[in-house]
Amino acid sequence: MTTAPRVGVFGLLGSGNLGNDGSLEAVLGYLRAEHPEAVVDALCGGPEVVAARYGIPATRLHWNRAEYRTASRAGAIAAKGLGKLVDAVRTAAWVRRHDVVIVPGMGVLEATLPLRPWGFPYSLFLLCASGRLLRTRVALVGVGADAIGDRPTRALVRWSARLAAYRSYRDTLSRDAMRAMGVDTARDEVYPDLAFALPAPPASASSDSPGAVCVGVMDFHGGNDDRARAEEIHRRYLDGTARFVRALAEDGRPVRLLTGDACDAPVVAAILDAVDSPLVTASEAASLADLMTETAAADSVVATRYHNLVCALKAGTPTLALSYAAKSDALMDRMGLGTYCHPAREVDTDRLLEQFRALEKRSAQLRQALAERNRTAARQLQQQFTALTAALFPAAAHRETP
């Protein structure tokens, strides 16, 4: 009799980021469909949310509950230091209980947003090092990566990738970045983002009159190397986005504001206050499925967060990216909309409106193109899951071979 495989999922899951949770949902769907015998649990940022929403046992990622708060007092600093030691033991003990650990998607190998090396990069290194020492296979599945300038962060990310038993990426940019950082990627494959494996929303009814526009906003302050200019970047992004929303409302277009993380709420509030129009409303989407439903009902989408873009493209809705990182440009290019990108750091409202109007003029053509790209993405993700079974569940792969 074969023992059921013990599978762990790991990451900043259940912490308010809808993209991270959508990647988890896609991997859980794969496990339940292809490996229903697997016993699954999580080590994650929001264990209560993950346990309630996905029905799996979950353990808190950090011993120190104040891990992501700024520590200024001696006691808080000491607690953080102690937490790093405790987490090393806790992570190893958790890894030891599993045959396989999966890190589902997410930008775990990048620093396109502000990031400290002793935060998540350290946690990921503990996971991958424990997996190698304890002979538990750790898989980085469909993850994002980018070139990292900060040396401690780059070292932790590089060693995490090297120590993992399996790696795949959500775009070629990510694989190239890891190769440039000294990781042997000869056997690593590239597949679409895991969220493209989620169920597609129903198509919305077409209308001859201009309809709603979804505008996805973000608490954007630049990247890891922009800390000195963070407030200036945020102000320019917010002012430019608010002016764009106001222009849409003045044209009589209903605007639906979308977010992708709990931290984006103040940006929504600021835009609602600045525009003050009944045509501008805020979505209360609590999952990627909710976001896909919102974007499927829209005529067009203009969005910043990476997984807002994924949702809109998956829904087949013409989309314009307020791009804050190369990964957004790569995604748009992969889906055939590479010309519809606008820099989030330098929002030029007039230019953005020109691009938006050009997008809408090609709406019918773009919807057809997106439908074909989505069919291709679905086929490629099935190949990803087949490869994952072969790498992590060899006994199951052998049984399925005719």
Mean pLDDT of 300-328: 96
Task: Pick the range with the lowest mean pLDDT from 87-91, 207-211, 262-266.
Answer: 207-211
Rounded Cα distance between 219 and 176, Å, is 28
DSSP characters for 292-312?
HHHHHTSSEEEE-SHHHHHHH
What mean pLDDT, rounded, does the chain reach? 91
Answer yes or no: are the C-beta atoms of 300 and 272 closer than 8 Å. Answer: no
Which pLDDT does position 264 carry in this prediction? 96
DSSP characters for 106-146?
SSTB--SS---TTTHHHHHHHHHHHHHHHT-EEEEEEE-B-
Residue 402 has pLDDT above 60, yes or no: no
Residue 390 has pLDDT above 70, yes or no: yes
Residue with tokens 């104040």: 66
Which pLDDT does position 226 carry in this prediction? 79
The radius of gyration of the chain from alpha carbons, rounded to an integer in Å, stands at 21
CA-nearest of 166, 165, 216 to 191 is 166
Give the model's confidence band at 201: pLDDT under 50 very low, under 70 low, under 90 confident, else very high: confident
Mean pLDDT of 356-378: 97
Query: How distant, in Å, are the alpha carbons of 47, 64, 112, 267 from that of 16?
Result: 12, 18, 18, 15
DSSP characters for 243-254?
HHHHHHHHTT--
Q: Does an H or E element contain 322, and which? A: strand 319-323
Domains along the sequence of the chain with CATH: 6-190 (3.40.50.2000), 213-375 (3.40.50.2000)
Which pLDDT does position 208 carry in this prediction? 53
Residue 1 has pLDDT above 50, yes or no: no
Which pLDDT does position 71 carry in this prediction? 53
Give the model's confidence band at 401: pLDDT under 50 very low, under 70 low, under 90 confident, else very high: very low
| 360 φ/ψ angles, rounded to the nearest 5 degrees | -65, -30
β-bridge pairing 300-303 and 213-216: parallel
CA distance between the termini of the chain: 21
Which pLDDT does position 3 carry in this prediction? 82
SS3 assignment, position 71: coil
Mean pLDDT of 47-69: 87
- With 0-12 / 13-18 / 19 or more C-beta atoms within 10 angstroms meaning exposed / middle / buried, residue 348 is middle
Rounded Cα distance between 132 and 139, Å, is 11
Give the model's confidence band at 200: pLDDT under 50 very low, under 70 low, under 90 confident, else very high: confident
For 273-282, how does the pLDDT look when each residue is reduced to its tens digit (9 = 90+)? Answer: 999 999 999 9
Q: Return the amino acid letter for 141.
A: V
Residue 260 has pLDDT above 80, yes or no: yes
SS3 assignment, position 369: helix
| 252 φ/ψ angles, rounded to the nearest 5 degrees | 85, 15
For 136-190, how does the pLDDT look when each residue is reduced to its tens digit (9 = 90+)? Answer: 999 999 999 998 888 999 999 999 999 999 999 999 999 999 999 999 999 999 9
Rounded Cα distance between 291 and 49, Å, is 18
User: Which pTM value belongs to this model?
Assistant: 0.90
Q: Return the amino acid letter for 121.
A: P
Per-residue DSSP letter, 29? H
DSSP characters for 149-183?
-SHHHHHHHHHHHHH-SEEEESSHHHHHHHHHTT-
